[in-house]
Structure formats: C-alpha cells, structure tokens
Chain A
Amino acid sequence: MISRFQFYLLTINYILGTTLFVLIQRLVKQGGQDAWLMPLWAGSFGVLVGLFWILLLRYYPGRSLVQIPLDAWGRPLGTFVSVLYFLFFCILAGWILRNLSDFMNGTIMPETPKSVFHVMFLLVACYTVAQGVETVGRLNQVITPFLFFPFWLVLLLATVNWDWERLQPVFHSDLGAILQYHSFLGFPYMETIALTMLFPLVKQGAGRPFLLGVLTASVSLSMTLFMVIGLLGVERASRLTFPVYTVVQEVSIGEVIVNIHAIISVILLILIFIKLLVLVYGASETLRQVFRPKTRWPHFLALTILLSAMALSIYENPIQNGEWDEKYTFIYDSFFVLLIPFLLLVTTWIKRTFGKRIKRRMS
C-alpha cells in the first residue's frame, strides 16, 4: 500500500516523464507565444477523464482496471479486454524506452546502440517492480526533491537570457489552433490510465491525489513552457528537437558554470525511469491478476524480452513518430481510455438496474 502523497508525486512524475522533452517543441509550434496556456486547458480535460475513471472504479472498490472487465463481462471477454490493456501498457513502455534512446543518441551518447539503454533500464525497472509497489512509491518520493530542485535551479540560472518581449503579444495566438491540438490530450493525459492499476493500493482513496497530481503537473508544464518561450523565443523553440536541453546548454554564469546540460539529461532519465516503473508494474500486474501465475520472476524476464523488442519496433524514426502522434494518438488512446471504460460503465449500470428490478420482482 502506498500513501496518498506518494501517489500524488507518482502522478506528477508520470505525466512529466517524457512530455518534458518530446512534446515541448510541438506545443510551441502549435501555440506560438501562448503555448503555455495549452497545458492548463489539456489538464482540465485530464481531470474530467480522471473523474470518469474514478466513477467507474467506485463501482468496483478494491479492483484494478484489468480486473473490472473480468467482473463485468465474464472470464472469456474480460480476459481478452485485459490482454488488450496489457498490450497497451507494453506499447507505451516500448514508446518511452525508444524516446529515451533517441534522446541519448541525439545528444550525449551518439555511438551507443539503443538496445543497451533499453535493456539496462528494463533490468533495473523489473527488479524495482518485483520488490512491490511500496518500493516504487518510496523510491519516487525520495527521488522527487532531487528532480524538482535541480530542474528549476538550472532553469533559473538560465534566466540571464530572459527577454519578456519573446512572450509578446500576449493572448494573441490562434485560439482555435490551441484548442484543436487533440494529440496533447492523448499524450500524456489519457496515458495516465496506467495509474489506475495502482488505485486499489492507495491508502484512504486515490481519487483526490490523482486529480491534484494532474493539475500540479499541468501547472508545472505550463511554467516550463513559459520559461522555454521566454528564454529561447518561439522561432527557435519550435524548431529545436529538445528545447529544454538547449536552454540549459546555453547557461553561462561567469565563465565558470558552463555546459551544465548533463544535469538535465540525468533529470530526464530519472523521470523516464519512473514512468517506465508504472508501466512495467501495470503490465506485470495485468499478467498476475488475469492469469494468476504462481511464480513471479519468469514473467519479468519475458517482459524484458518483449519490451526491449517493442522499443525497437515501435516507430521507424522520430519524423514518422511525430506524424503518427499528430494524427492518431487521440483516436488510439480514446479506444482504451474512453470507449472501453464507457462500455464497462454502461454494462455496470445496466447490471445494477436490472439486477435490482429482478431482485424486487423475486422478493
């Protein structure tokens, strides 16, 4: 069991994980100098969707996301849906591993083969998850100050290059462009469904820390975008692949504090690791809860083999990934995050309504 505060921190770090370096450039391109408003509106959508899941999970107290289809639709169909969720978590995990290796190859370590990053991260992640959810929660809680303070300190050090004029004219961007960017709703907000696997394990209810975590992460993203636009300007930030990395690369205090971008690399690595922990936990728990195997570690080995392969098979190159993200993320995520839970909710309501009527007729 993890505490509410641990779950709150886990939610924040999960959302910030890959968003901070994959999505910043696209958001600035879409929103211009007002791109910092986008996380606020997408965060509100994330909260609404979260409320929807909380409603569904209230009908099945103590059950996780993959156990609900088994209860609602029976063993055969429920197993099929749970396997679909298992594949969903595996694909997400493969995605973030690939984002990580693309980042490392593109910045600091261009010669290292991608699989080295994937396998190393997976070995440590599987070991951590095998120790249980308390380890995941506690690790995240201990590590969060080491992420939060250096990240904002380094961004504050970069403010020597700040220029308010880069944010002007304010509130003048195309509002339609901002609201129509639906892929931002999909990644990262709809992906937080993986955290519902941990809902039954949070003491005193997970709903409030989850929603607060979504809001906090949105505010944090908004502030980061604000800083990136103020430090780099829209023209550069919308073209650089990793704007946060470039911002920190250009920090120069006196002539002494220069080239400190390694700090940001480490922060991003740890954030990705935490996101990976949640997804590996989700995938392994799905296997455990649906198939109820008696052993644990062989399945982690199988997951390592599968996820390391998925990481290399998930997309061809960042350009194809960017295109896919813009066109299909929302539809793909909606199937798992909106459609299936909606059908589960409808089934639950029907069962309860008719169940009550039948009981009344019989008594």
Chain B
Amino acid sequence: MAYRYAAGMFILMMFTALLTACWDKTEMNELALVSMVGVDIDPDSGKKTVYYQIINPLSGTSARGTPGGEQAPVYTYEISGSSFGEIKSTIYKMLPRKLFIAHSKILLVSRRAARQGVRDIVNFIEMQPNGRSSVPMLIIDGPISQVMKTFTPLERVPSDAIDSRLKLLIRNSLLTGKHIKVNDVIERMEKSDTIVLPMIAGTTEKPSSNSGETAADIDANQNNFIIGGGAVFRDYRMVGKLNDAQLVWYHLLNGDRGRHVRRFQVEGKQVSVELRLVRMKRDVYRQSDQPVVRIRLDLELSTTWANEFVPRSRAEVERLESNLNRIIEDESLAFYQMTRERGWDLLRIRDLLRKQTPNHPYIDQAAKNAKVTIEVATRLLRTGSMNQPYEGTG
C-alpha cells in the first residue's frame, strides 16, 4: 500500500516537472512582434539584408508624457548575412527580444532582389514553422531602407497602413488584385504562370526619422509611401513593370471585382464611369484545329461619379453602353497584344488550356499562338444622386 502511494507521488512529481513546458515558455514581454519584413539582396556580393519592423508596445496615448518625448510606434532593425538562415542567429546581435513573425502583415522586397529572383525568400518563409505565407508581397520601387524607415501619417503602424490601403484598393479600384500573397506567388510560379505584384515607393528622398514630426505635419504626402504600378513576375523573377492603366486591364481580364472609375472619351464627350465586373467566362473552342480563347465579360456601369455627362434617355444609355463595349474590347485586346509581344502570359492562357484541353500535345506553343477574342457586355445599372449635372446658363 505504501509502495503504491510512493509510486503515485513519484508520478505526480514527474507530472509537475514535465507539464510546465519549461523549455518552450515565452512571456509576452520577451517577444519582438514583427509587423513588417523587408528583404534586399545585393546582386554583386549576394549579401542578404533583412529589415524587421518591430511594434513598440509602449507607444500610444497612454505613453504620452513619458520622459524623452513621444515613443515611435515601430522600430526598424536591419541585419545582414550570407543566407537567410544565418540571420536567424545573428539578429540577436541587435534585437533584444525573441523574434516573433507569426503576426507580420506585409513582406516588402527590393526591386533588385526581385530582379534576381524571390525563390530563396519564398522558400525561407515557407520553411519556418511560424512564418505565414498568407501575407501580401510588394516590390519596392526605390531604395528599400528609405521605405522601411518611413513613418506614416494617420495610420501609425506602417504595415497597417499598407494592409488597409491594399484592402481599399482591392475594393475600390482595379489597381490591385486579391492574389498578391506569398502563397499565390508560390502557386503561380510552380505552375510556370505569371503574377503581378503591387509596387510601393517612398514619396520623399529623406524621410523623417522622428515619428512626432510626421504625426504633426499637415502635408500627408510628405514622409509617406505610395502604392503604384505592378511588377510582373515569371519563374520567381521580376521581368517587367505595368503602369496603372495597364494594371486596370490586367485585373479586369483576370476576374478581379473592384469598382474602378475611369474617364472614357465617348462620342467626343468625356464621361467618368464606374466599372464593376459581374461575371467573366473564359472558354476554349477549336477553330480550324487551332484553339481560340474566348473571354466574355459582363460589366456593371454606374454614373455616380459622372459629373460631366449623364445619359438622359434609354437610347442614349444603349449608345453609351455599346460605345463602352467597343472601347473596352479594343483597349483590353491592345493590352493582350502588348503582353504577347513581351512574352508575358498575363491572361494565364496556358493555365486555361492546361485545364480545359489537357490532352493537347503542345500546350506551350498553343498558348503562345492562341487567338484571343474578348466580348464585353456593359449594363448601366446605377446612377448618382443627380440624374443630370448642372449646366449653368451661359
């Protein structure tokens, strides 16, 4: 009986020792919460530089009045090494807390690193158990340290600023799409597809390193960064750039649903129309033994933002719609021709052929030479608060 009692006590003591997770316990104030990661690769030496932007838990209204002035919302740590794995150990030469990247929101890659190839970066993120590849990846058009050391007005933590801007752009324009995350990059690159990632650039050459100054400056365009343009990736390398106008057609033809306002010239008149993709159908049919890709777009129009001209009658509406159909078909076909000339399969025709005609013997060749027809059907469904703009008397 005493033997069993002793054995029971021994087991309980072992439980007490072994259940405390001594080896893996971490307190919250021992963690460096990373909100944004920036990566640069030097093309000559191959040296990798990683920038970690760490959230400062002491910043905020409660910390006002602390000696030394206002606290910065984030701190950027820069560390270099010959491989990303090495940086995991050497980061602690600068960083006083344990790196915690599970909550990072944005990954920024310098343009020169993008031109060399992002495969190493992407592999490194996927390999780490804590790393999330569901974060958006943006390419920096300019020096990376400038962007990583910029404070943003209004949204104090820069990664939140970029994240909310991307969300707003995805909803309110066709300048950014949903498939800009690291896992989208992996999926597309592994299928030998292309992807377009948003680009970001700083607005000043020397951003202020004082967060208080940025917070007190009325000019929000100073000390900020702007998202614009798209970096085209193929085989993990940046092979070109799209401007904003081209990005609109790229996202429209790839099925993105943002509401984009664009000014069109219709019958000599300027009219700013909001477009929204309602349905897109892509199919492949054979015409004299050649695959033809047919893209059908159904768009919803709104004249809410058309302060120049609003159609008055049904006939005018139909004329506007048919003109816009023609203009959009022409411009999107011109965009496709441009991409074909540069050898970029931005409409993902090869992927479409692979899915719909998997038995085709020469899919790559067929994709390059495929004929593409675009059919657009627009419908005016929404108008603004005024059914006619003011015209004046003169």
Asked whether any CB of A lies within 8 Å of a CB of B in the complex, the reply is yes
Which of A69-77, A78-86, A165-173, A331-339 is the interface stretch? A165-173
Give Cα A120 to B190, complex, Å: 42
Q: Is the CB of A302 closer than 8 A to any CB of chain B?
A: no
CB distance from B283 to the nearest CB of A (A): 13
Q: Given the complex of chains A and B, what is the CA–CA distance between A50 and B11 in angstroms?
A: 39
Which of B134, B186, B187 interacts with A252 by CB under 8 Å? Answer: B134
**Min distance, Cβ A122 to any Cβ of chain B, angstroms:** 11
Is the Cβ of B183 less than 8 Å from the Cβ of A168?
Answer: no
Judged by a CB distance under 8 angstroms, whether B354 is at the interface is yes
* B315 contacts chain A at the CB level, 8 A cutoff: no
A233 at interface by CB-CB < 8 Å: yes
Contact A112 B23 (CB under 8 A): yes
Name the residue on A nearest B22 (C-beta): A112
Known: A111-B24, A168-B355. A119 touches B14 (CB 8 A): yes
Query: Mask for A299-321, Cβ within 8 A of B = 1, else 0?
Result: 00000000000000000000000
A residues near B186, Cβ cutoff 8 Å: 235-236
Q: Does A123 contact B (CB under 8 A)?
A: yes
Which residues in chain A, 220-235, are within 8 Å of chain B measured between CB atoms? 232-233, 235
Residues 56-85 of chain B, each 1 if its beta carbon lies under 8 Å from chain A, else 0: 000000000000000000000000000000
Residues of chain B contacted by A239 (CB below 8 angstroms)? 126
In the complex, which of the residues A113, A123, A252 contacts B23, with contact meaning CB atoms closer than 8 Å?
Answer: A113
A-B contact count (CB 8 A): 58
Contact B24 A240 (CB under 8 A): no
B185, chain A: closest CB distance, angstroms? 11
Is there contact, CB below 8 Å, between A111 and B11? no
- Please judge, given known A-B contacts A110-B129, A168-B355, whether A259 and B102 are in contact too, CB under 8 Å: yes
On whether the beta carbons of B18 and A119 are closer than 8 Å, the reply is yes
- Report which residue of A119, A120, A233, A240 has the largest number of chain B beta carbons within 10 angstroms of its beta carbon: A233
Assuming the contacts A113-B23, A165-B355, A240-B126, asked whether A250 and B183 have C-beta atoms less than 8 A apart, the reply is yes
| B19 part of interface (Cβ distance < 8 Å) | yes
Q: Which B163-187 residues have C-beta < 8 A from chain A?
A: 183, 186-187
- Taking a contact as CB atoms under 8 Å apart, the answer to whether A109 and B102 are in contact is no
Closest chain B residue to A111, Cβ basis: B23
> In whole Å, how far is B320's beta carbon from the nearest beta carbon of chain A?
34
List of A residues within 8 angstroms of B102 by Cβ? 259
B378 within 8 Å of A by Cβ? Answer: no
Is A87 located at the chain interface by the 8 A CB criterion?
Answer: no
CA A90 to CA B275, docked complex, whole Å: 66
Q: Is A322 an interface residue (CB 8 A)?
A: no
User: Does B103 sit at the interface, judged by CB under 8 A?
Assistant: yes
Chain B residues with CB below 8 A from A107, complex form:
129
Does A249 touch B at the CB level, under 8 Å?
yes
Question: Are the CB atoms of B18 and A249 closer together than 8 Å?
Answer: no
Across the interface, do A123 and B11 meet the contact criterion of CB distance under 8 Å?
Answer: yes
Residues of chain A with a CB closer than 8 A to B23's CB: 109, 111-113, 116
Q: For B133, give the chain A residue with the smallest CB separation.
A: A250
What is the minimal beta-carbon distance from B244 to any residue of chain A, in angstroms?
Answer: 27
B351 surroundings in chain A (CB, below 8 A): 165
B103 touches A259 (CB 8 A): yes
Instruction: Determine whether B21 belongs to the interface, using a CB cutoff of 8 Å to chain A.
Output: yes
Query: Which residues in B have their C-beta under 8 angstroms from that of A249?
Result: 132, 134
Does B389 make an interface contact (CB < 8 A)?
Answer: no
A347 to B285, CA, bound (A): 64
Interface size (B, Cβ < 8 Å)? 25
Distance in angstroms from A101 CB to nearest chain B CB is 12
- Whether B191 sits at the interface, judged by CB under 8 Å, is yes
In the complex, the answer to whether A169 meets B183 with C-beta atoms within 8 Å is no
Q: Among A109, A112, A119, A235, which residue has its beta carbon within 8 angstroms of that of B191?
A: A235
Query: In the bound complex, do residue A233 and residue B187 qualify as a contact, i.e. CB atoms below 8 Å apart?
Result: yes
Give residues 100-117 of A contacting B (CB, 8 Å): 106-113, 116
Q: Which residues of B contact A110 (CB under 8 A)?
A: 24, 129
Q: What band does the interface of chain A fall in when counting residues whose beta carbon is under 8 Å from B?
A: 20 to 34
A109–B24 contact, CB under 8 A? Answer: yes
**List of A residues within 8 angstroms of B129 by Cβ:** 106-108, 110
Q: B356 contacts which chain A residues (CB < 8 A)?
A: 169
Q: Which residues of B contact A259 (CB under 8 A)?
A: 102-103
Closest to B351 in A: A165
Contacts of A109 in B (CB 8 A): 21, 23-24
How many angstroms between the C-alpha atoms of A109 and B130 in the bound complex?
11
Interface residues of B in 27-46 (CB under 8 A from A): none
Measured in the bound complex, the distance between the Cα atoms of B129 and A71 in whole Å is 52
Are A123's CB and B132's CB within 8 A? no
Q: Are A250 and B354 in contact, with the CB atoms below 8 A?
A: no
Specify which chain A residues have a CB less than 8 angstroms from the CB of B187 in the assembled complex: 166, 233, 235-236
Minimum CB–CB distance for A167 against chain B, Å: 10
Instruction: Determine whether the beta carbon of B14 is less than 8 Å from that of A123.
Output: yes
CA distance A116 to B23 in the complex (A): 10
CA distance A108 to B25 in the complex (A): 11
Q: B133 to chain A: which residues have CB within 8 Å?
A: 250
Q: From the candidates A112, A165, A169, name the one contacting B24 in the complex (CB within 8 A).
A: A112
Q: Which residue of B lies closest to A166 (CB)?
A: B187
Residues of A within 8 A of B355 (CB): 165, 168-169
A250 and B134: CB pair below 8 A? yes
Closest chain-A Cβ to B353's Cβ sits at a distance in Å of 10
B240 within 8 A of A: no
Known: A109-B23, A233-B187, A235-B190. A116 touches B134 (CB 8 A): no
**A106 CA / B191 CA spacing, docked (Å):** 28
Residue of B nearest to A236 (CB): B186
Q: Is B143 an interface residue (CB 8 A)?
A: no
Question: Which residues of B3-22 have CB atoms within 8 Å of chain A's CB atoms?
Answer: 11, 14-15, 18-19, 21
Q: Could you pull out 24 A-B pairs where Cβ atoms are within 8 angstroms?
A: A107-B129, A108-B24, A109-B24, A110-B129, A111-B23, A111-B24, A112-B21, A112-B24, A116-B23, A119-B14, A119-B18, A120-B19, A165-B355, A166-B187, A168-B355, A172-B358, A233-B187, A235-B186, A235-B187, A236-B186, A239-B126, A240-B126, A250-B133, A252-B134
Task: Taking A116-B18, A116-B23, A120-B15 as given, write out 20 further A-B residue pairs in contact, using a Cβ cutoff of 8 Å, ordered by the A residue number.
Answer: A108-B129, A109-B23, A109-B24, A111-B23, A112-B21, A112-B23, A112-B24, A113-B23, A119-B18, A123-B14, A123-B15, A161-B134, A166-B187, A232-B183, A235-B186, A240-B126, A249-B134, A250-B134, A252-B134, A259-B102
Residues in A lying within 8 Å of B, measured CB to CB: 106-113, 116, 119-120, 123, 161, 165-166, 168-169, 172, 232-233, 235-236, 239-240, 249-250, 252, 258-259
Task: Please give me the 3 A-B residue pairs with the lowest Cβ-Cβ distance, nearest first.
Answer: A235-B190, A111-B23, A250-B134
